[in-house]
A = this chain, B = another copy of it.
Amino acid sequence: MDADEFRKAAHAAIEDIIQYNTNVANNTHPVLPSIKPGYLAPQLPKAAPEHPQSWQDIQPDITSKIIPGLTHWQSPNFMAFFPACATYPSILGEMYSSAFTAPAFNWLCSPACTELETIVLDWLADALHLPTDFRSDSPGGGGGVIQGSASEAIVTIMVAARERYLHRKCDAEGLPNPSPERDARIAGLRSKLVALSSDQAHSSTAKGAIIAGTFHRTVKTSFEDELAVHPDALEATLRKCIADGLEPYYITLSYGTTSTCAQDPLHLLAPVLQNYPDIWIHIDAAYAGTALVCPEYANPPEGASSTTEAMTNGTSPSSQPLQKPTGLLPQGPSILCQVDSFNTNMHKWLLVSFDASLLYVRSRRDLTSALSVSPAYLQNKHTDSGLVTDYRDWQIPLGRRFRALKIWFVVRSYGIEGLRAHIRRTVRVGEHCAKLVTESKDGKELFELVTKPAFGLTCFRIRPDAIPRALVRRSSALDANSTENVETESTMNGSPFGTVEQQDEVAQNQSKQQSLTKMQPTQAAEDLANEFSKQVVETINDQCQLFLTSSSTHGKTFIRVVSGNTNASEEYIEKAFETIVKTTRELFVKVEKEKQT
């Protein structure tokens, strides 16, 4: 393809992209593709073509074969997971990045790539109101780096945390480095390390622990505390780990969990963690963290920290739920000075297309000490000078794309005020959704919120008392027969290294078993509310017009509605709510009919 052919092809591609974006915004394509698994293979040749094909041969296949198989994340009817915004300035960034291709693993491999990254990460640290500790010019040697995803950010941090813990411990014990004693001690410690997170944390912490080769235990949360970590639960988990001979080295605290946007109250948890100074504290703010661009999130209004007082004055805190959870940062982001690292994804809510996960650390040396490997072919005088940043030592891969460009273009095209406007507008759309659930006639009759709406996410389920009584009675009879299975499951785990989660599961199953044997209609209604909430989501997704996700925790299954993408609007939320109401009522009728036959 020569320059002229490229120009022609690229112009045509631009028209495709504009057309696609317009169609998606106008809801011309159903949000989910109506194809079956394996739809594509029969439409393509069995083997790669031997001879070159022209763009005229290739391009039509995008419209005829690829677009019909896409899930449209920019659709106003995409309300699943979290959003993944795509914007025009971001596409321009990827165009240039691809043209300037360089696996820029060190400064010399493309200085602009490294330097622009440092600059825009500092811009964003300020724009997000993060403490200056996270800036590249901070006296403590902090800094930011673009990772591909929050999962990558978290596993990178966990490896750094693991190595820091092992070496701090050996240093404290006065073991020479290197020495056989130190190696033996590290080998012994390694098999006892445990990473912590709430039972609500994103699966990336569990996966990170697998990759880092350590245990993972979860701190149990409850709906009473809005699924945020209670300081007593944290303390109890830490004590249990230590009693079991484990060594806690790392904790993920969440600013906006995936299921419900729960926020672990750092101001209440930090005092607990101060007694364990070698534990690395990481804040996973993958989705919600970008809201910190708005002062109302970064510096919440006076009085929002009342929970602090309630909690710290209590004599028996374990009996006190976090009645008014105030989120991670009720005292403003200055509380983040007490954490080691923080990540948030611009590619979710902040208008940069995937991938652009921002990771900030207070000490970049913690990363480079763990991850730097310097063979001869990667050494150069710039690296040796200490004047440049070699981001390869801040991440798992060696090579890296020029992702700072798209962030630069987006931030400049929107301005910080434009980013704020996007967050605020979509939060309002989310609040509209919550209002429909709590204030509309249908909403009040059929649904209940499971947690307080936050960051444009509304979590609700079918009210147990909204389920037709005939269905509840029948289900109650059915469930009583299923006790045996539950019993079998409850004997599954007896390991001393079993996670707290697993132990909780055992306890839950036992209590479930008890409740089933003396089955109450209330429990049966609860179970049906959960089951029907899930079925409503599946039925809606099967129709491909609206994409929702359900989630399930601590005995409640619920519907999640997310409103963060650029095309989200009150109008589409209202239509979505109508669909949810209609589908719920139809499900009741359908199940009643099935019961009668």
Contact = CB atoms under 8 A, between A and B. Distances in A.
Interface stretch (A99-107, A267-275, A326-334): A99-107
A99 B103 contact: no
A20 interface: yes
Interface in A118-162: 118-120, 123-124, 126-127, 148-152, 155, 159, 162
Interface in A490-529: 492-498
A579 interface: no
A88 B1 contact: yes
Interface bracket on A:
35 or more
A545 interface: no
A424 to B, nearest CB: 15
29 contacts: A1-B88, A1-B89, A2-B88, A7-B14, A10-B92, A21-B99, A33-B112, A40-B116, A48-B126, A48-B127, A49-B415, A52-B412, A55-B89, A65-B112, A67-B112, A70-B100, A70-B112, A73-B101, A84-B103, A91-B98, A93-B98, A180-B494, A203-B373, A203-B374, A210-B370, A213-B213, A213-B214, A258-B377, A354-B401
A479 B98 CA distance: 48
A586 interface: no
A98 B110 contact: no
A540 interface: no
Contacts of A112: 33, 40, 65-70
Interface stretch (A313-321, A380-388, A569-577): A380-388
A99 B203 CA distance: 27
B354 A399 contact: yes
A18 interface: yes
Contacts of A98: 86, 90-91, 93-95, 353, 406
Contact of A49 (B86, B91, B211, B416): B416
A275 to B, nearest CB: 26
A323 interface: no
Contacts of A40: 111-112, 115-116, 119
A295 interface: no
A477 interface: no
A415 B90 contact: no
A583 interface: no
The prevalent SS among residues of A at the interface is: helix
Interface stretch (A429-437, A468-476, A549-557): A549-557
A417 B38 CA distance: 28
A445 interface: no
A398 B84 CA distance: 13
Given A33-B111, A41-B119, A88-B1, A179 B495 contact: yes
B41 A159 contact: no
A71 interface: yes
A276 interface: no
Interface in A191-216: 191-192, 202-204, 206-207, 210-214
Contact of A187 (B81, B115, B192, B551): B192
A585 interface: no
A16 interface: yes
Given A37-B388, A40-B119, A18 B13 contact: no
A396 B155 contact: yes
B187 A191 contact: yes
Given A71-B102, A385-B37, A496 B53 contact: no
A115 B42 CA distance: 11
Contact of A538 (B109, B207, B375, B381): B381
Most buried by B among A44, A207, A417: A207
B418 A52 contact: yes
Given A14-B14, A48-B416, A53-B412, 10 more contacts: A70-B112, A74-B101, A98-B406, A148-B148, A152-B396, A159-B211, A187-B192, A188-B191, A213-B214, A259-B377
